[in-house]
Amino acid sequence: MQLNILNKKPKRLWEWREYKKGSLIENGIVLNKTATFIWKLCDGKRSVNQIIREVLKKYNTSEERVKGDVLDWIETLLKEKTIELN
């Protein structure tokens, strides 16, 4: 499924609160700073590919790792029904 979502645009379905060390989605999911960065990019305007590129700009790590981590996180958010893909 992961490769099929690269051109989709994830959109947040829940409100959240941001704290110093991360965020809390209203449904109870706790996000660290990196997950919060990805969460904020799930605005329904950026594709998953664009989100991967933004994460690559911010963090000094390999493209392969970023792609895998972002895709895994997007899948988790989908399973938890906290985002939708358009």
Q: How do residues 46-67 score in pLDDT, each as one tens digit?
A: 999 999 999 999 998 999 999 9
Q: What is the pLDDT of residue 4?
A: 83
Q: What is the pLDDT of residue 68?
A: 95
Query: Class assignment of domain 2-85?
Result: alpha beta
Q: What is the pLDDT of residue 2?
A: 56
DSSP state of 14: S
Q: What is the pLDDT of residue 3?
A: 59
The model's pTM: 0.90
Q: How far apart are CA 17 and CA 9, in angstroms?
A: 22
Please tell me whether residue 83 adopts helix, strand or coil conformation: strand
Q: How far apart are CA 23 and CA 8, in angstroms?
A: 24
Residue 19 tokens read as 């704290």
Q: How far apart are CA 61 and CA 55, in angstroms?
A: 9
DSSP state of 43: B
